[in-house]
Every structure is written in C-alpha cells, then in structure tokens.
C-alpha cells in the first residue's frame, strides 16, 4: 500500500493535468481531501485487520514488574511497543504502597483483548523475598477482585523476576489463585552462576529452594545480554542461564535468548526494539 503523502501528490498532479495547468478549483480540492479521509480510514481498518491476523485475541492479562530502585517507567517502552504493534489498547497501573496496599487505575481489563497491567512498587529497594512475594500476591488478588482474572502472564526485569519467582514459590499453588500461562525473564538470574555469593543471593537461594518442585507448567522465555564480558554489566550470563536449573523440569517449555552486543546492557534490555519484538511474538503471536 503506498503511503498517504504519495497518494496526495498523485491526486494533486492528476487534477493539475486535467485542468491544463489551470488553478485547481475549489471542488477539486474538496475531492482530494475527501479521498485522503477515505484512505486514512481504510488504512486504520487495514492495520486492525493485520493486528487481528497476527496476534491472539485473549483476555489473559500480562503483568509487568520493574526491578530494584526502579518504577513502572522502566516498563513503559515495552508496553508502548505492544500497543503500537496492535497487541492491545487496554493498560492498567497497579500501584503498591510501602504497606503492600494496592490501588489500580487506568483501563478496566476484564474481557479486553490482551490487556496489560503495569506494576509500580513504592518500596523498590528491598530484597526480602517474602515481602516481594506478598506485594505481587496483593496485585494479583486485587486484579481478581476488580477484573475477575483466572489466568495471567508475567514480564519482569532484574529484581522484579525474583519478586515474581518468590510469589510463585510462596503462593502460586494455593487454592483459588490464578494460573500462570507465560513468563518472560529479562536481565534476571537464577540461584547459581554468580561470580560471588552475596548475602542477598544466599537468602534468595534459601527462600526459593523449593521452586523447582512447585513452579507451574508455564511457557518460559529468558532474555539476557552479553556486552562482551560475559554479563549485561550487572548480571552474569551464567546466572541468567541458571534460571533453567532453578525451575527444574516444571516449565511446559523453556527458551533462552542471549543478545550479543554492547547495546544489550542490563537497563538497555527493556528499551531495545529486538527485545520488544521477541516479547510480543512469545506472548501474543498466533501459532
């Protein structure tokens, strides 16, 4: 399909030729404008048709979780990329205060096509796995109450992955909790492969030692970056690869993608177009 600026020029030139270089009449200009309006409307319909063909039509929400010291702003580029691609029009924001209370604003997601929920954690500099698990549990329960969700996907970056894994370890198998369908792990690590075992890593290992026995049968995509030194600048690639070991044989499917280039830094991964494309295809592309 030609772009609309080209079509306008062609229409203008045709009117000029037919009038033997006379000044285009007012009626002709109206005709050009009307043509452009129709084409624009057709273009919008065409885009909707293409999106319907490319992406699934599911009411399962995808929950985005940011990392340590960050906010939902770190999720925005990924979410906007999904919106631009025609995946969804429905985005809600779940704000979790330091006491764990959840306030949801934005779009209602019940019954909507491929809805997205951005999470913002006020207490964004804590590494207590039990606390992080409660925050995510409260978000999911709030979505159950407001939007009656029964299934969900996770997309998390860095420390947000540990909050998600801790939730699954602590509450994922409890009766009445929604079912995880797909999980995207960005710039995260498992419980081994670190160059040195810090106190925090040891606490995580101790807290989630049972995850390999209770992880849901979900599809998992792990995305890491190698800037040239075997890490994304913060998380070692060996730790990223150890996510497989941490989950055991529980995932329904498991895929890992390591991007090799200096642009794939720890924070750069959630701002990268190649990462956006990978996430969109994994979560929403029709088979």
d(CA 31, CA 196) in angstroms, rounded, equals: 71
122 close to 96: Cβ distance less than 8 angstroms: yes
Tokens 């306030």, residue located? 103
CA angle 174, 130, 165 (to 5 degrees): 65
pLDDT in tens, 211-232: 999 999 999 999 999 999 999 9
As given in the structure block, the two tokens for residue 79 are 């979410």
Q: Is 3.40.50.1820 the CATH number for 57-284?
A: yes
Three-state DSSP class for 56?
coil
**Domain segments of the chain as ranges:** 4-53, 57-284
Provide the pLDDT for residue 159.
Answer: 95
246 close to 206: Cβ distance less than 8 angstroms: no
d(CA 10, CA 6) in angstroms, rounded, equals: 6
Give pLDDT tens digits along the chain (287 positions).
444 344 334 443 434 434 444 444 555 555 555 555 445 555 556 666 777 789 999 999 999 999 999 999 999 999 999 999 999 999 999 999 999 999 999 999 999 999 999 999 999 999 999 999 999 999 999 999 999 999 999 999 999 999 999 999 999 999 999 999 999 999 999 989 887 667 788 888 889 989 999 999 999 999 999 999 999 999 999 999 999 999 999 999 999 999 999 999 999 999 999 999 999 999 999 98
pTM for the structure as a whole: 0.84
């Amino acid at each position: 399909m030609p772009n609309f600026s080209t079509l306008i020029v062609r229409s203008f030139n045709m009117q000029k030729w037919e009038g033997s270089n006379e000044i285009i009449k007012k009626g002709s200009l109206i005709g050009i404008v009307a043509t452009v309006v129709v084409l624009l409307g057709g273009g919008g319909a065409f885009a909707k048709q293409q999106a319907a063909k490319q992406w699934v039509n599911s009411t399962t929400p995808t929950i985005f979780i940011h990392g340590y010291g960050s906010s939902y702003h770190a999720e925005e580029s990924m979410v906007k990329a999904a919106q631009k691609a025609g995946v969804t029009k429905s985005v809600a924001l779940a704000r979790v205060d330091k006491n764990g209370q959840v306030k949801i604003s934005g779009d209602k997601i019940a019954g909507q096509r491929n809805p997205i929920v951005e999470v913002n954690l006020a207490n964004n500099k804590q590494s207590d796995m039990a606390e992080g698990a409660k925050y995510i549990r409260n978000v999911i329960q709030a979505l159950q109450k407001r939007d009656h969700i029964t299934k969900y996907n996770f997309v998390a970056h860095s420390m947000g992955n540990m909050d998600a894994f801790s939730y699954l370890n602590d509450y994922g198998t409890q009766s009445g909790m929604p079912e995880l369908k797909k999980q995207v792990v960005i710039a995260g690590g498992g419980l081994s492969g670190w160059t040195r075992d810090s106190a925090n890593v040891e606490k995580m290992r101790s807290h989630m030692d049972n995850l390999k026995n209770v992880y849901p049968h979900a599809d998992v995509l792990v995305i890491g970056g190698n800037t040239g030194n075997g890490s994304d600048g913060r998380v070692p690639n060996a730790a990223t690869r150890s996510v497989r070991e941490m989950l055991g044989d529980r995932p329904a499917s498991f895929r890992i993608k390591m991007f090799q280039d200096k642009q794939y830094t720890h924070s750069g991964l959630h701002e990268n177009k190649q990462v956006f494309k990978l996430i969109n295809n994994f979560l929403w592309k029709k088979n």
